Amino acid sequence: MATDPFQLFDDWFADARASEPNDPEAMALATAGADGQPHVRMVLLKGRGPEGFVFYTNEQSAKGDQLRENGRAALLFHWKSLRRQVRIEGAVEHVPGEEADAYFATRGRDSRLGAWASDQSRPLDERGTFERRFDEVKARFEGQDVPRPPHWGGYRVVPDRIEFWSDRPHRLHERRLFTREDGGWSEGLLYP
């Protein structure tokens, strides 16, 4: 079998970009804090390669807290139009600041302002409070660039397992599992 899992991912991701009607880069991110309670939410893939799979967020959010407490995560891509999914598990590391700065600069201005205004995942008394904070931040940065907030950054999931699942008739699916071993990858199959 000996396929490079990152090349296979790139091939499947290209297919998803061509056929998936909404957000082919959407992925479920599963984390668990020190208490072991699992949490899952959707985030967007913003970088990929042999180093891992990258997403960005407020590091003081619930997911940031959980990743600080337990530096492992799982990702799931589900491309319904292709009847495929990819499961990824591994350790999590911070993206270097300059890489986070470069990505942050590509975001729309309101998204950059929102990163400053939001205490992501924290209780909010009413929507108006957030809207006032957004307006304050907008006025603060009027006529100037919006830099990346110090509490906002990127994470890279460095996989040690990548599973490629393909739908087959009668639930006789195909499951290919890549496992990192001694700096390389081994491949095997799983029963459906």
Which residue is associated with the tokens 């110090």?
A: 150
Residue 159 pairs in a beta bridge with: 90
DSSP for the chain reads ----HHHHHHHHHHHHHHH-SS-TTEEEEEEE-TT--EEEEEEE--EEETTEEEEEEETTSHHHHHHHHS-EEEEEEEETTTTEEEEEEEEEEEPPHHHHHHHHHHS-HHHHHHHHH--TTS--S-HHHHHHHHHHHHHHTTTS--PPPTTEEEEEEEEEEEEEEE--GGG--EEEEEEEETTEEEEEEE--
| Short-list 70, 89, 67, CA closest to 163 | 89
| Short-list 153, 147, 178, 162, CA closest to 46 | 153
Active site residues: 171
